[in-house]
Amino acid sequence: MHAMGSSSSQQYKLMFSVVLVVAAASLCFADDPFICTRATYYGSPECYGNPSGACGYGEYGRTVYNGQVSGVSRLYRNGTGCGACYQVRCKIAAHCSDEGTEVVATDYGEGHYTDFILSTPAYANLAKPNMAAELFAYGVVDVEYRRIPCRYASNLVIKVHERSSYPHYLAVVPIYQSGTTDITALQIWQEDCKEWREMRRVYGAVWDTQSPPLGAAISLKLQIVGTANAEAKWVQLSSVIAADWKAGLTYDAAIQLN
C-alpha cells in the first residue's frame, strides 16, 4: 500500500509539472505582456491591405503606417478594434527578428486559425535581414503580440465617408487615432433640440446619422476608453466639420487621443 501511494504521488507531480509547462507556454513569456497566436499575409496584387476593408477606411486602410497594416480576427471586436496598433514578432529563431513589426488594424480577416493577416511589407518586417523569403515560404507562422500606442505626426482627423450625401445623410470615420484608446460611442450636437444625439456604428470605424444639423458647423463628441483604464470619458470636438461638408473631405480635429 505504501509503494502504491508513492507511485501515485510521483504521477501527480508529473501531471502537475505538465500543467505548469502548458500554462507557461500559453503566456509566451512570464515576464512580458505578449500573447501567443499565429499570423499569415495578404495575397493582394499590390501587397497591401484591402481598400474595401471591414473598418471602412478605404485607401487610408491600405497605406497608413507606410503600409504596415493588418486584418485581425478576435481583435476586431465588432469594429471597436479598428485603428489599434500592435507589435507582432514571430518565433522562428533562425529567421525572425527580435523586434518584429508594428501594424495598425484596418480590416477583419481570419484564416488558418490566425489572429493577424499582415500586409506583405509588414510580414517581411518580421524577418531578420535577408531572411524574408524563407519566412514567406512558411505561409503561416507562430507569433506573439502586444498592443502598443499608435504614433502619428498629425492630429486626429474626421473624414466624411464617401457614401455621405449632403445635406440629408452624414457618415464619418475617425482616422489617425494615436495612443491606445478605443472609440466606443459617438454623438452629434443637435442645435435645434439643444441636445447630444447618438450616432450609429454602421460597421467598423464608420458612424452615421440621418438628417444632420444644417446651417452651422457640426460638433461631435467621442466616447473613448483606454487600455490602462477601463473608465470611459467623453472628448468634445467643437465645430469640427464645416457646415457645407462634402463626401470624401477630411477635417482636422485639432487634438490627439494619446
Residue-number span of the structural domain to which 75 is assigned:
33-148
Do residue 194 and residue 238 come from a single domain? yes
Q: Assess if residue 87 is contained within a domain.
A: yes
Q: What is the Cα–Cα distance from 82 to 226, expressed in whole angstroms? A: 14
| 85 — pLDDT class (breaks 50, 70, 90) | very high
State the pLDDT at residue 63. 86
Percentages (nearest 5) of helix, strand, coil residues in the chain: 20, 35, 45
How many residues belong to the chain?
258
Do residue 115 and residue 164 come from a single domain? no
State the pLDDT at residue 10. 41
Cis upstream peptide for 167 (omega within 30°) = yes
131 has a pLDDT exceeding 80 = yes
State the pLDDT at residue 258. 79
| Average pLDDT of the residues in 148-163 | 96
Q: Assess if residue 9 is contained within a domain.
A: no
Number of folded domains that form the chain: 2
15 has a pLDDT exceeding 50 = no
What number of CA atoms fall less than 13 Å from residue 11's CA on the CB side? Answer: 6
Do residue 59 and residue 101 come from a single domain? yes
Q: Assess if residue 162 is contained within a domain.
A: yes
Among 98, 119, 148, the domain-final residue is 148
| Average pLDDT of the residues in 58-78 | 93
How does pLDDT run across 1-14, given as a tens digit for each residue? 333 333 444 443 33
Among 148, 171, 192, the domain-final residue is 148
Do residue 59 and residue 132 come from a single domain? yes
Q: Assess if residue 217 is contained within a domain.
A: yes
State the pLDDT at residue 43. 73
State the pLDDT at residue 47. 65
Q: State the DSSP string of 49-107.
A: --TT-TT--TTHHHHGGGG-EEEESGGGGGGTTTT-EEEEEE--TTTB-SS-EEEEEEE
| Average pLDDT of the residues in 99-121 | 93
Q: At 175, which amino acid appears?
A: I
Residues 246, 159 contacting (CB under 8 angstroms): no
| Average pLDDT of the residues in 210-217 | 94
| 228 — pLDDT class (breaks 50, 70, 90) | low
Which CATH number fits the domain that encloses residue 231? 2.60.40.760
Do residue 242 and residue 164 come from a single domain? yes
Do residue 45 and residue 125 come from a single domain? yes
Among 109, 130, 148, the domain-final residue is 148
Do residue 170 and residue 66 come from a single domain? no
Q: Assess if residue 20 is contained within a domain.
A: no
